[in-house]
Amino acid sequence: MTQDDEKPPRGVRTMAVFRWILVAVMAVVAALSVTHSFGLVSSESASAEAAHYYCPMHPQVVQDHPGECPICSMTLVKKESSGKTTSPAPSTGSDKPSPEKAADAAPAAPERPVTAVGSAPGRAQGVPGLVPIELGFDRVQTIGVRTATATVEELSAELRTVGFVSADEARLARVHTRFSGWIEQLDAAVTGQKVSRGQVLASLYNLELLPAQQEFLASRRWNSGGVAGAPSAMGPAIGGELEKDARARLELFGMSPAEIERVAETGKPIRTVAVTAPIGGYVIAKSAVQGAYVQPDTQLFEIADLSKVWVLADIYEYELGRVSVGQVADVLMGAYPSERFTGKVGFIYPAVDASTRTLRVRIELDNKGMRLRPGMYGDVVIRQGGARGVVIPAEALVDTGEYQYVFVTKDGGRFEPRRVRAGPRAADKVQILEGLAPGEVVVTTANFMIDSESRLRAAIEGAPER
């Protein structure tokens, strides 16, 4: 074998050098890739640690300083830092993050004070479905938030309801005739006409009345001795009794003493009998018509004396303990906005209406000048004794029927929903029996806006119902 046969083929050395150069390049590229990956993880971790504020409405809006959301202008909520870092989970071929990473990425919900419903005044009481919120100064001005301070004062309690004017039932009169007949003349021809006591309303003709008047005239002649053949000794006594009985019969027919005397003086029966008003007042109902045939069961007129009237008001069953006979009550009518009609509770009806769960109360009023007319509606204010306690404007109280609460203002634009128990009301104020302390500031306007945002925030943060 020659020396030339022991040498490697031509080009092998060159390929070996090229292979080692390629391996070195790949090693450098791999090292740079690993370094870049760790740099990205570190950058994301640092960014996550620096981003402490987010928008509950738009969670994708995150920044490292306080401010407002550029989309909805809601104040950004601070995210509490967990104080630990986690390495990225190994890829499983799915885009879903690991449970540990999802738990760290979820924003922490702000804690709410939880107390019992029957806590002492001034202690925070949570309202189901609501959470405290924070609003910026500009947002507070935009929605027009106004506040008032809870004060301690004596509140003259009032019970407010509505009522309507009705005629006094003790001052009503229904006019009937005591015999059958025909209406020959109608003097009270229209409903609403004012009549006085004893005034003639109508004149009736009756066939039975003529024999009774003739009997009365005969008894008078017998009594005076004008009847031929009457015994001289028994005539006057018998005639007197007969005249007395005949006069009584005419009175039972409804003839007035003046009409009977006119028959006695003229000696002739009268054709019609006058129907007169038993009381003075206003004709509120009329069924009499000229020429109509009427009977004793026919109601001709109904007259109401409106010098005194009733106001009938309905109160709820749970308010029954606050009303008693003799309490002073004011009635405010829309027709006279600057006047108060003052009376007293005269009667409390014994039964509760099963359909409305209300009880009727009767207030008696003088009606000078006929200013109150039956059928008018008005506001009724029943005065009650005063009570001293924590008082706020009535518009600050939110009453859903199930809960009563207010929004208490705190420093930094924070609004806290506070459950309370309301007491008596008077005019535009309400007494708070439980849940609020003197000196605390409550929201009086824009309650609806704050309530809506609080409910929305609670829903986003998954606030538990209690």
Best CA proximity match to 213, nearest among 274, 159, 262, 143: 262
Residue 11 pLDDT: 65
Burial (0-12, 13-18, 19+ Cβ within 10 Å), 32: exposed
Residue 5 pLDDT: 55
Residue 156 pLDDT: 74
Best CA proximity match to 454, nearest among 421, 414, 420: 414
CA 51 from chain center: how many Å? 49
Residue 27 pLDDT: 77
What does the block give as tokens for 248? 């009584």
Residue 75 pLDDT: 84
CATH architecture type of domain 172-304:
Beta Barrel (2.40)
Task: Report the CATH number of the 159-168+306-384 domain.
Answer: 2.40.30.170
Taken as a whole, the chain contains a residue count of: 466
Cα–Cα distance measured from residue 68 to residue 413, given in angstroms and rounded to the nearest whole number: 13
Q: SS3 for 300?
A: strand
* Predicted model pTM: 0.53
Domain boundaries, the chain: 12-105, 133-155+386-461, 159-168+306-384, 172-304
The b-or-e profile of 1-17 (16+ CB within 10 A means b, else e) is: eeeeeeeeeeeeeeeee
Cα–Cα distance measured from residue 98 to residue 107, given in angstroms and rounded to the nearest whole number: 16
Question: Per residue of the chain (466 residues), what is the pLDDT tens digit?
Answer: 455 555 556 666 777 777 778 777 777 777 776 555 555 444 544 444 554 787 776 676 788 888 888 877 778 887 765 444 333 333 333 344 444 433 343 344 344 343 333 333 444 467 888 999 998 888 888 888 999 999 998 887 788 899 999 999 999 999 998 888 899 889 887 888 999 998 999 988 887 788 888 888 888 877 776 554 444 444 555 656 777 888 888 888 778 888 888 888 888 888 888 888 999 999 999 999 999 999 989 999 999 999 999 999 999 998 888 899 999 999 999 999 989 999 999 999 999 999 999 999 999 999 988 899 999 999 999 988 777 889 999 999 999 888 899 999 998 889 999 999 998 887 788 989 999 999 999 999 988 889 998 988 888 877 444 4
Report the chain's C-alpha Rg in angstroms.
49
Whether CATH 2.60.40.10 fits 133-155+386-461: no
Residue 227 pLDDT: 52
